Amino acid sequence: MRDLVILGSTGSIGTQALDVVARNPGRFRVVGLAAGGSDPALLRQQVEAFGVEHVAVADESAAEPLAGTSARIHAGPEAAAEVAGLGVHTVLNGITGAVGLGPTLAALTAGSVLALANKESLIIGGELVTSAARPGQIVPVDSEHSAMAQCLRSGQPDEVRKLILTASGGPFRGRTRAELADVSVEEALAHPTWDMGPVVTINSATLMNKGLELIEAHLLFDIPLDRIEVVVHPQSIVHSMVEFFDGSTIAQASPPDMRLPIALGIGWPDRVEDAAPACDWSTAATWEFFPLDDEAFPAVGLAALAARHGGVAPAVLNAANEEAVEAFRTGRLGFLGISDLVGRTLKEAIPSGAPAGNRVTLEDVMEADTRARARVRDLIEGIR
């Protein structure tokens, strides 16, 4: 029986993780849950259904509906990190956004395996996070990185030539930059293949999600950026690939269903039987691959720029993006404005000249995050 803590339990990753756990009662035990607090009724239901011992809510006003359950309640902005730091076998971090950094560091410091769906914490923390982790302590849950980890099992590290990161292309694949000017929030939220939370879905429409995943792959597998290639694959069946130095490419394929990488993440290194349906070879299928259109979707290039610069640049990229996405969702910014503002904020934050050192502190990251958000808000005010 493996003890788990699930962070972001009422979100897309969290609810699917609990589905995997519920279908494997002898294998996993949920010790703690954490959620933001936007759905206290669902959180209470989860606490009771899984008999958890600890529950965390970031929004203190959401703690009251949890009263009377058997769980110890942790409330406030540090609550998720408290539960993440309990020292259980595996912590699944399914929180969305930069707020996942504290819990990521808490889980690593407590010695737990970190099943990481909160890519932002790794990206903005950079070396701060990688240096806190022992080899193998971070297990990717992001479908692409789970795929790469699976493909990497088929060769030695020094036999790897490059990683091939697949992108669905999102709902606007094939459109030119001009054709993206007037797209609506509803259109951006209609992802063709994946069912995800709203921020990740909009990040998939701009391809910033792929940009963040490029940095994530670089940090997780310690592969230089110029040896990671992004390819558009609209069917989202091949989740990523690894090319080895003999010319062989290994791909991981399965219908798009996050329960597969989630199950592998919490069960790592072992697979969980029937985690998700497999490919059906009895009907005809076509898998297509296209190069990335950098002009219509500049986000991947911006992410590469941030990663090459290092230091707090990835934190600036992520914070500016989170702020710009929120402005787009609430009708204060157009779709193209997202990448434009992220690019402008990033380029302003990167001084011309020598790149910054990679050693950053948590304070540096948080300060850069705050400054980037304020800058984006100022720019949006100026636009209106």
Residues at the interface with Mg ion (CB under 5 A): 142-144
- Local structure of 290: helix, strand or coil: strand
SS3 sequence, 139-176? EECCHHHHHHHHHHCCCCHHHEEEEEEEECCCCCCCCC
To the nearest whole angstrom, how small is the minimum distance from the Cβ of residue 307 to Mg ion? Answer: 16
Q: Which is nearer to Mg ion, 143 or 321 (CB)?
A: 143
287: phi then psi, degrees, rounded to nearest 5: -110, 125
Least separation, in Å, of the C-beta of 143 and Mg ion?
5
Show the tokens assigned to 141.
Answer: 């849950």
Q: Is the Cβ–Cβ distance between 110 and 207 less than 8 Å?
A: no
Query: Smallest distance, Å, CB 71 to Mg ion?
Result: 31
Using the minimum distance from each CB to Mg ion, give the nearer residue, 239 or 373.
Answer: 239
**Distance, CA of 218 to CA of 268 (rounded, Å):** 21
Nearer to Mg ion, 147 or 296 (CB): 147
Q: Shortest gap between Cβ of 12 and Mg ion (angstroms)? A: 12
Phi, psi of 244 (to 5 degrees): -100, 165
Q: How far is the CB of 7 from Mg ion (least distance, A)?
A: 17
| Of 12 and 345, CB closest to Mg ion | 12
Q: Which is nearer to Mg ion, 66 or 217 (CB)?
A: 217
Q: Cβ of residue 104: shortest distance to Mg ion, in angstroms?
A: 17
CB of 220 to Mg ion, least distance (A): 12
DSSP letters along 95-125, please?
Answer: --SGGGHHHHHHHHHTT-EEEE--HHHHHHH
Cβ distance to Mg ion smaller for residue 191 or 375? 191
Nearest of 110, 92, 119, 107 to residue 6 by alpha carbon? 92
Least distance in angstroms from the C-beta of 74 to Mg ion = 29
C-beta of 243: minimal distance to Mg ion in Å? 19
Beta carbon nearer to Mg ion, 144 or 323:
144
Residue nearer to Mg ion on the CB measure, 33 or 212: 212
Q: DSSP labels for 245-286?
A: TTS-EEEEE--S-THHHHHHHHHTTS--TTSS----TTS---
Q: How far is CA 117 from CA 75, 162, 367, 373, in A?
A: 22, 23, 24, 23
User: How many Å is the Cα radius of gyration of the chain?
Assistant: 20
Closest listed residue to residue 324, CA positions, set 369, 373, 384: 373
Angle, vertex CA 257, rays to CA 253 and CA 259, nearest 5: 110
- Minimum CB distance to Mg ion smaller for 90 or for 143: 143
Least distance between Mg ion and beta carbon 152 (Å): 17
Nearest Cα residue to 321 out of 297, 343, 289: 343
Of 143 and 150, the one with the shorter C-beta distance to Mg ion is 143
How many residues make up the chain in this entry?
A: 384
* Nearest residue to Mg ion on Cβ basis: 142
